Structure 1
Amino acid sequence: MKKSILASLILVPTLILGACSAGEDKENANDAGNDNKEVYKVGIDTTYPPFEYEKDNKYVGIDVDLINAIAEDQGFEVKLEAMDFKGIIPALQANQLDIAMGGMSITEDRKKVVDFSDPYFDAGITLVVNEKNNDVVKPEDLKGKKVAVKKGTSGANYAQSIEKEVGFETVLFDDSPSMFLEVKNGNADALFEDYPVISYAIAQQDLGLKVVGERLNEDQYGIGVLKGEEQELLEKINKGLENLKESGEYQEILDTYLAE
């Protein structure tokens, strides 16, 4: 960290206001009294239980517990920034974030702008329909039908990759609850969602939905940083993740939210 440069900038408030970035926020937070620990901004989507959601005015979930545990293990701090999932990578590119989470699948397209950590969760896309619907059990059954997906997700990418071949219409939503409600109310015939997310949601609430068929791919989640810019941070994340798995704390975090 360039402490000498920062010290000189503090003497010129107008320069600070004109050149604020996520990296400078980290440095300013350090000088404000955080035991000289680096503070990284983490983008999360709080409409994505069990990975990220709000409970009792606090952010909780697998991703929240995991990044906090990694930070503690590696001696840095994090500041959680809640936003729409589709805005996380653009915010990372704009230096408004240092770390991207949100149950983010590791994909070739995302690898063009994001460096991912080692995978930390095996997910996979699944097909979901109204609990009274017995006609749709596989993607091929969606011909001539309407499919709901959440913007910017792997479910949306999967739907768009097969919609012309199968012959269905894709409808985009900003958040998962709206997408779920669309299928429950019969305005859409099905949706594509990450298996652990929809399974958890169905178990916790009366959504009027059911999962059908097998998982449609083998998506894995990773923690992202800006490509080519944060290799030291990425190494810390990977080392922390490795330590948590070896100690058993990683499994404890999963069991907190996924154990039946």
Structure 2
Amino acid sequence: MRALFPILLLLLSTFVSAETPSSTAQGNQPLAGELHIVTVERKPFAMTVDGKLTGFSIELWQALAERLGWQYSVTATNAFAGMLDAVAQGSADIAIGNISITAERENRFDFSHPVFDAGLQILIPENGDNSFGVLAAIFTWEMVAYIVGAVVVIFVIANLMWFFERRDAPYFQRGYREGLWPSFWYAMHVMISGGFEEHVPRSVPARILGIALVVCSLFLVSAFVAKIASTMTVNELRSDIESVSDLYGKRVGTTRGSTAAAFLQSRGIDHKGFDDISAMFAAIGKGGLDAIVHDAPVLRYFATTQGRGTTRVVGSVFKPEKYGIVMAQGSRYVEPVNRALLALRENGSYDEIYRRWFGATASDN
């Protein structure tokens, strides 16, 4: 029995040494044959061009997977929260994109080493010639109702003025059809000018009517001027956004479930949440938002592409944050991904990908 012990010990050590390289070799391999990667379309990190997914995050993942020898498929979604939920629920293995590393998310997931330095910034409409916007704001349905009401009042008074003055005043001594337009013109002239330079009413009813018309004109003209002044003031105030402190009382938009939404909530800034980032950018383009708070690189890319000439980024980057690759808690892919990331940074591949999408290396920014 004692003679067998050294032999058993030798066999055991041989078995362990044989298993260790095999386990290490398999450490970079997915548990299944193909990894399911999920992302969210956020230019320039992930977007569809000519039917294919591309972007900084897509190319970075391609380089990582190639180095690790992993097979994978990528699914894109428009909902940021849905992307994270896919990893949390196990329907996706890894999430890539502009995903900020936060304490709250670290409680739910495991992150890779940081892959991008970012932060939040503000996007506002480019002012330029805003004449059409001001006119559109002035001539609302409410203002149209005012104008129609004024025309009706003038028409009624014109008829009454003709009726009371047709016998005493030569200006109105004509038939109804011939006299209606001069009467209407006269009533409108009195309302606008507030005086009787063209004709002084002679009959008592016409004079009372004229005084009432002048008083009405004061209210109507004042209301119209006040509407124009307030609209121009509001439009001027809305364009006066340079920092976070200017966002209070403004129409602010961001995406639901993002760090920008959490930041705005923590600062008590009312905002509208969008599931689709395209809808958010469309809203500011149509005048539905005064500002967007979102990831700085995403806003800068939009302002220099689709939003060029109509939007601009203002202020400096605030709330600095880092992006990472998201995996489930305890995922066996964390260490292989981190080692591959370090290798890509050391051999210059990371800087090459960064330069293609942002025109500089990460160290230049």
Q: Same fold (TM over 0.5)?
A: yes
CA separation in 2, counterparts of 1:156 and 1:250?
30
Residue 155 of structure 1, aligned match among 260, 276, 284:
260
Partner of 2:348: 248
Match of 1:94 in 2: 89
Q: Distance in 1 between matches of 2:90 and 2:322?
A: 25
Q: Name the aligned partner's letter for residue 304 of structure 2.
A: A
SS at match of 2:257: coil
- The one-letter amino acid paired with 2:51 is N
TM-score normalised by structure 1 residue count:
0.80
SS in 2 for 1:215: strand
Taking only the aligned residue pairs, the percentage that are identical comes to: 32
1:109 corresponds to which residue? 104
The C-alpha deviation readout for 1:76-95, integer Å capped at 9, x for no partner, is 12210112211112111111
Contact 1:148-1:179 within 8 A present in 2 as well: yes
- The Cα offsets for residues 66-124 of structure 1, whole Å up to 9 and x where unpaired, read as 11110111121221011221111211111100001221000111011111000010010
Structure-2 separation of matches of 1:134 and 1:87: 33
Number of the residue aligned with 1:122: 117
TM (norm. structure 2) is: 0.58
Report the counterpart of residue 54 of structure 1 in structure 2.
48
| Pairing 1:1-260 to 2, within 5 Å after superposition | 27=32, 30=33, 39-46=34-41, 48-83=42-77, 84-132=79-127, 134-162=239-267, 164=268, 168-207=269-308, 208-228=310-330, 230=331, 232-259=332-359
How far apart are 1:26 and its partner, in Å? 5.8
CA distance in 2, matches of 1:137, 1:43: 35
Matches of 1:204 and 1:139, distance apart in 2: 24
Does structure 1 conserve the Cα–Cα contact (< 8 Å) formed by 2:264 and 2:270?
no
Contact 2:256 2:274 (8 Å CA) reproduced: yes
d(CA) in 2 for partners of 1:235, 1:50:
27
Alpha-carbon deviation of 1:184? 2.4
Give secondary structure in 2 for the equivalent of 1:255: helix
Greater per-residue helix proportion: 2
* Larger RCO (CA within 8 A; separation ≥ 6): 2
Conservation of the 8 A alpha-carbon contact between 1:43 and 1:82: yes
Structure 2: runs of 5+ lacking an equivalent? 1-29, 128-237, 361-365
Question: Does the Cα contact within 8 Å between 1:68 and 1:77 map onto a contact in 2?
Answer: no
Secondary structure of the 1:216 match is strand
Higher strand residue share: 1
**What SS class does the counterpart of residue 124 from structure 1 fall into?**
strand
Which runs of at least 4 in structure 1 moved beyond 4 Å after TM superposition? none
Q: Deviations over 1:183-218 (max 9, x none)?
A: 222211111111111111111223521111111111
Gaps of at least 5 residues in structure 1 are 1-24, 31-38
